Amino acid sequence: MEVKTRCSRRLGLRFDRKSGDLYIADSYYGLLVVGPEGGLASPLATRVDRKPTLFTNDLDIHNNGSIFFADTSKNKLGEFIHNPWLRSINFQMPIPMRYLARLVGLRMYSMVPLLNDKGDILDVLEDKKGLVLKLVCEVKEANGKL
């Protein structure tokens, strides 16, 4: 597969009202951020679990500053994965820890909703056909760490 020169393709934009930062979900360049003073966007997340993001398509910012973004693709940069149905979501929960969930065998989803006002764990994804998919996350403590 030939990788061509890539142009930026912004699919999600969100302002952090507290910091004034603009967060950008770019399909080719991952999660980017621009400070309130403007300038060039800086990469914030271009890899998930040591693998490059394939198609970052949206993001949300919780009022506590946590950032949630979706990285979905079944055919972009296919040389990096063997399973074309592999999906990734990077969760940064209200607790200071990141979670990576691998969803295998699902249709491409197109939305990641915000956590509710209580900060409950994100548990609903929506795919292209409008079907609601449930993702259950459980946090366990081991050796004094979550």
Q: Compute how many other C-beta atoms are within 10 angstroms of the C-beta atom of residue 85.
A: 13
CA 47 to chain CA mean position, Å: 10
Return averaged pLDDT per consecutive 10 residues of the chain, 146 residues in all.
Answer: 56 82 83 87 77 74 74 50 40 35 39 54 52 51 61
Short-list 26, 126, 113, 19, CA closest to 68? 113
**Domains of the chain by residue range:** 10-134
pLDDT score, position 108 = 45
pLDDT score, position 24 = 86
pLDDT score, position 30 = 80
Do residues 78 and 1 lie in contact, with contact meaning Cβ atoms separated by under 8 Å?
yes
Do residues 45 and 36 lie in contact, with contact meaning Cβ atoms separated by under 8 Å?
no
3-state SS, residue 134: strand
| Beta strands in the chain, from DSSP E residues, in sequence order | 10-15, 22-26, 30-34, 42-45, 47-48, 51-52, 56-61, 67-71, 87-92, 98-103, 109-111, 124-127, 132-134
pLDDT score, position 49 = 67
CATH number assigned to the domain covering 10-134: 2.120.10.30
Do residues 59 and 70 lie in contact, with contact meaning Cβ atoms separated by under 8 Å?
yes
pLDDT score, position 5 = 52
φ, ψ at 52 (rounded to 5°):
-65, 145
Which residues are bridge partners to 91 per DSSP?
A: 99
What is the bridge-based pairing of β-strands 109-111 and 22-26?
unpaired
pTM of the model: 0.49
pLDDT score, position 43 = 85
pLDDT score, position 62 = 74
DSSP tally for the chain: helices H, then strands E = 0, 13
